[in-house]
Structure 1
Amino acid sequence: MSLYTVARDDFTNARRSYIVLGVVGILTAMVALIVAMDADHHPDPYRALFDVSFFLFLTFPIVIAPLTYLSIAGDRDTGVLKYALGLPNTRAEYVFGKLVSRLGVALAAVVVAMAVAFVVAVPLYENAPSVERFAKFTGVTLLFAFSFVGVYVAFSAVTESRSRAMLGVFGAYFFLVPFWFGFFPTVNLPNLVSMAGDLLGVTVSESTQDVIRALSPATAYLSATEIVYTGVVDQYDQVAMNFTYEGSPLDRQLWFNLAVMAAWGVGSLLVGFLSFRRSELG
């Protein structure tokens, strides 16, 4: 057997799951609904993508959690893991095969959702949807999906039970999205950074806060979607408010935001694999 065999078998089993159908169905329905509803308020489909990006920023990591958190922990809990590794599979082939399988489903969900959204936009909007803008949006969202799938599969690799894997995954979501971004009114990362600066007698500048905030894969995703609105940022006030700025701060650079998302996916998975490689499976 091999990484390909592990991924193929896991994908075959996963695609028959109601969870997989639910992930693809919910994501497609919600994205299509947002695009359809925005047609009553805006003539340009790319304005709907702005609203879709905030929907995905908040909910996509939650939607794909059931798809990923049991990828390895579920096999360990049921004893299937011993059988899988009893075959001629290395632990690396097993872990990365699981990643390829679950990531494949998540990426397929994104592609299907955006393809349906494009089809929905064609007859509804005054101005025709741009294939290029939809393609750029889809590409950035695919990398966003990779970042969280990597984090979640890593949690599944380091935990020994379903309940711990579930708590770890949902804890990662709340830490990386609402806490890091600053949605919680008092206890959030920006406030903690400011508090730490006050205790040390230093002032944390707004630009430093922005860079720290951008180190979350979710925040990096929102910033990276700026590439979708090249040449039309000033057409809508809400888009301009989020992407118009002076100078070229690091957190607004496309390469930086893409690197942040890639680093979370690759880095967390490597940490998870190293822990899994040393763990006792008995």
Structure 2
Amino acid sequence: MSWRAIARNDLRGALATRGVWALTAGLLALFAGLGYAVPRLAGSSDVPFSVYLELLVTVVVPLFPLVGLVLGYRAVAAGRDSGTAALALSLPNSRRDLVLGKFLGRAGALAGALAVAGLLGGGYLFVGYGDFAAGDYAIVLLSTFGYTLAFLGIAIGLSAGLASVRRVISATFGVYALLAMLWRTVVDVMMLVLFRFRRPMESPTWVEFARFVEPGTSLQYLLGTEFDIGTAPPEAVVGTEPFVSTAGTVTVLLAWTVVPVVLGYVRLKRSEL
């Protein structure tokens, strides 16, 4: 066996449970339900499709971190609690194979759920919106996958690095609260403390950087500036610093995806199962 076999087995196991199918149904309900609701809330059947996409992005940013975290938090930790992780490693598998295989298996489940829900929801949107833009819709779906994958990577890293599911749950809740709700507040408080509670006329470079590396800010910047979908957040001031760019956004999301997985693997490698 190898990481490929572990990924296949994990994907099969995910597809055999109700969770992935419930996720697919929930995503379909979101995509199609929002498409149904927007014209009715606006009181007009001529609402542009761009309005739908903008509202979809505003839902994705706070909601989809939960999708990634819930998909990944039990991936390794549950096996450590039950002993199945030790059994898997008794075969010719390394701990690297275990972590990488679990990550890729859950990523495959996420991609499948998004693809099925996106295609079915897209069919409804094609009928309901005369100016339906398949390219923009696909861009939002792909960006949503990359954004959610970052939180899946965080969850896999926590699951590999912490010794029990209970600890992983606590850490996962903390990560969601920090990244989805409190990040900007924490950065602003740090700035005020360092400047002795006197707000500077212009935000220092490190403050702009700290705001930009929050995954939701990076996602909104990418969609708002590169693809003209939604509005770029005010904390991502276009052109002020070299890292505020499309390449910077891709780097941020890749870093949030890969670094936690690597750190979780390193901690798992040094620990006893």
Distance in 2 (alpha carbons) for counterparts of 1:157 and 1:240: 36
Residue of structure 2 in register with 1:262 after alignment = 254
Distance in 2 (alpha carbons) for counterparts of 1:123 and 1:192: 48
Deviation at 1:166, TM superposition (A): 0.9
Query: Match for 1:48: what amino acid?
Result: Y
Residue of structure 1 in register with 2:4 after alignment = 4
Q: Once the two structures are aligned, what percentage of the paired residues are identical?
A: 23
Distance in 2 (alpha carbons) for counterparts of 1:25 and 1:90: 35
Contact 2:69 2:154 in 1 (8 A): no
- Measured on the aligned residues, the alpha-carbon RMSD in Å equals 2.4
Residues 4 and 222 of structure 1: is their aligned pair in 2 closer, same or farther, counting only changes over 3 Å?
same
Residues 145 and 35 of structure 1: is their aligned pair in 2 closer, same or farther, counting only changes over 3 Å?
same
Contact 2:192 2:198 in 1 (8 A): no
Residue of structure 2 in register with 1:58 after alignment = 62
Aligned length: 266
Distance in 2 (alpha carbons) for counterparts of 1:36 and 1:172: 33
Alignment TM-score, normalising by the size of structure 2: 0.88
Contact 2:220 2:233 in 1 (8 A): no
Residues 204 and 155 of structure 1: is their aligned pair in 2 closer, same or farther, counting only changes over 3 Å?
farther
Deviation at 1:211, TM superposition (A): 3.2
Residues 149 and 126 of structure 1: is their aligned pair in 2 closer, same or farther, counting only changes over 3 Å?
same
SS at match of 1:39: helix
Deviation at 1:228, TM superposition (A): 6.6
Is the deviation greater in 57-66 or in 206-215?
206-215
* Residue segments in structure 1 that go unaligned for 5+ positions in a row: 183-187, 234-238
Contact 2:72 2:153 in 1 (8 A): no
Contact 2:68 2:150 in 1 (8 A): no
Question: What does residue range 7-86 of structure 1 map to in structure 2 within 5 Å?
Answer: 7-40=7-40, 41=42, 43-86=47-90
Contact 1:177 1:219 in 2 (8 A): no
Q: 1:224 aligns with which of 203, 222, 225?
A: 222
Question: What does residue range 1-282 of structure 1 map to in structure 2 within 5 Å?
Answer: 1-40=1-40, 41=42, 43-127=47-131, 129-180=132-183, 182=184, 188-199=185-196, 203=200, 205-206=202-203, 208=205, 209-226=207-224, 229-230=227-228, 239=230, 242=233, 248-250=239-241, 252-281=244-273
Alignment TM-score, normalising by the size of structure 1: 0.86
Distance in 2 (alpha carbons) for counterparts of 1:164 and 1:25: 29
Q: Deviations over 1:31-77 (max 9, x none)?
A: 22112222343532232111111111111111333321000000000
Residues 279 and 204 of structure 1: is their aligned pair in 2 closer, same or farther, counting only changes over 3 Å?
farther
Deviation at 1:210, TM superposition (A): 3.9
Contact 2:28 2:120 in 1 (8 A): yes
Contact 1:159 1:165 in 2 (8 A): yes
Distance in 2 (alpha carbons) for counterparts of 1:228 and 1:114: 22
Contact 1:154 1:271 in 2 (8 A): yes
Residues 227 and 211 of structure 1: is their aligned pair in 2 closer, same or farther, counting only changes over 3 Å?
same
Distance in 2 (alpha carbons) for counterparts of 1:228 and 1:247: 11
Residues 241 and 145 of structure 1: is their aligned pair in 2 closer, same or farther, counting only changes over 3 Å?
closer
